[in-house]
Structure 1
Amino acid sequence: MNKIPRGTLQEQTFYEQVGGEPTFRRLVHRFYQGVAEDPLLRPMYPEEDLGPAEERLALFLMQYWGGPRTYSDNRGHPRLRMRHVPFKVDRAAHDAWLKHMRDAVDSLELSPEHETQLWNYLTYAAASMINAAD
């Protein structure tokens, strides 16, 4: 019987398949470049510098997709909806968030399969954060 060598695509996490930490750091950095200039989204980030928010999202996404558990080690359970309760997240905020994330995803030039998998998760996550009517 032929064994599949260790480290083949079947055994790799999504995180590893798309390039690991550098890929997620590029994604999140590009996303926050858009957020920094967005009049609707920028007020939702209380830090003067978006760096802390960028770091949190990068660590969360890396962990979610099979990378290191640094996010949970530092912050506990993600509790995404709870963490977003203080902010009005309506359809307009959802759409703005996805616009910047779409630009960021496109900038990665992932394979179509990986891009679809990532985008499906991001659209689901964005929809689940809506907590206010328009």
Structure 2
Amino acid sequence: MTQVTELTPYELLGGAPVLRQLVDRFYDLMASDPRASTIQAMHGADTGLIREKLFEFLSGWLGGPQLFIEKYGHPRLRARHMPFAIGEAERDQWLLCMYQAMNDTPMPAEVRSHLEEAFFRTADFMRNQ
């Protein structure tokens, strides 16, 4: 009997190399697009550590290696974002950069569609204003 295994979104995306490209493009856009100035200010000029944390988080979130959990424990996303005032405008700035980064990163259409929905739900959940 042949066992069928479904690929995870992480695998369908292309694994670590493509995920790294997506994360780097996201932060490059945040730094360069004036429409994202509010969330850029929240992150500061040096995004090296936060880039790595987002990469590690998304790796596990997408079904790949649980890098973030191995280093930091449970993500507790909402608690980690509570110190920042996040309303609809901040959510939308984050999504603007992430959706553009997805446009700039080669990925299958079904992965993009899945990510758009999942990123929206997660970003909306981060709102605390």
Give TM-score scaled by structure 2 length: 0.90
Shift of 1:102: 0.6
One-letter code aligned to 1:97:
W
Structure 2 unmatched ranges of 5 or more = none
**Match of residue 44, structure 1, among 42, 45, 49:** 42
Tell me the equivalent position of 2:124: 127
Shift of 1:66: 1.2
1:1-134 alignment, distance < 5 Å: 3=2, 10-37=5-32, 38-46=36-44, 48-132=45-129
Shift of 1:69: 1.3
Segments of 4+ in structure 1 off by > 4 A? none
Larger radius of gyration: 1
More helix by share: 2
Shift of 1:119: 0.9
Equivalent residue pairs, number: 126
Q: Percent identity?
A: 37
CA distance in 1, matches of 2:69, 2:14: 21
CA RMSD of aligned residues (A): 1.5
CA distance in 1, matches of 2:18, 2:100: 14
CA distance in 2, matches of 1:70, 1:110: 22
Shift of 1:12: 2.2
CA distance in 2, matches of 1:70, 1:98: 23
One-letter code aligned to 1:126:
A
User: Are the aligned partners of 1:31 and 1:104 in contact in 2 as well (CA < 8 Å)?
Assistant: yes
Structure 1 unmatched ranges of 5 or more = none
User: Are the aligned partners of 2:12 and 2:108 in contact in 1 as well (CA < 8 Å)?
Assistant: no
Give TM-score scaled by structure 1 length: 0.87
> Cα deviation per residue 1:89-127 (whole Å; 9 max; x = unaligned)?
011111111100010111123222111111110011110
